[in-house]
Chain A
């Protein structure tokens, strides 16, 4: 689909939609596929939780991390708990 002239708006949007679908299908929830990891999902396990924060300390959305609904909620709950106990930052100064 490499046309040199500009595509009509509707065609461009269709291509975008297809691209998005393809990308999101590849991601699998790492907690669903690994029960040991799921068991390790705890507010005390800072090294695991840190991998789900951006450099500013924000929680990564599930469309980026690939987590399923259930585990994303659980993860968020554990991160917020860790934050309240000063194990993780609420906001870190990224550059």
Chain B
């Protein structure tokens, strides 16, 4: 058995029904090609790092599945399905091969960051985040509900850092 996962980026205006239909279509395609869908995680709406099809948000879904050996035809079928049959819904997708351990293990889901305050990127000193990696998300990305406060704070912080950088 070979284990794979496919991360799908869907249109932000996709309804839950649309996403369900995508899930069932993927399931059908897999079962026709000696595969079985293990999980289909809907991550929800995320702010994209750059505009895709002129949209700043997108809905992510991660499908994990296993198929019998030597079934490369499946990926061609999945690709054509996404590109020809669902071009309005599916914006991007990528297949990744997994080891059996990775397939069973839990993965780390990114936080849905709202970048209305502007993407400050990583200023110097934030590289130490990599050492505190796995579970912890960076402080400024926490609490997406307080986006207005956060964006105002970010703008204020951006101004002060700019002043210090220029000074």
Contacts and interface: CB of A to CB of B under 8 A. Distances in A.
Interface of A: 30, 36-37, 39-40, 42-48, 50-57, 60, 64-65, 81, 83-90, 92-95
B138 interface: yes
Interface string B99-131: 000000101111100000001111110111111
B49 A88 contact: yes
B78 interface: no
A45 B133 contact: yes
A45 B105 CA distance: 14
B145 interface: no
B84 interface: no
B91 to A, nearest CB: 8
A57 B108 CA distance: 21
Contact residues of B: prevailing secondary structure:
mixed
A48 B134 contact: yes
Given A85-B94, A86-B9, A95-B165, A53 B121 contact: yes
A84 B108 contact: no
Contacts, number: 103
Interface size class of B (residues with CB under 8 A): 35 or more
Contacts of A56: 121
Contact of A48 (B123, B124, B130, B162): B130
B29 interface: no
**Which of B110, B141, B165 has its CB near the most chain A CB atoms (within 10 A)?**
B110
A89 B138 contact: no
A50 B138 contact: yes
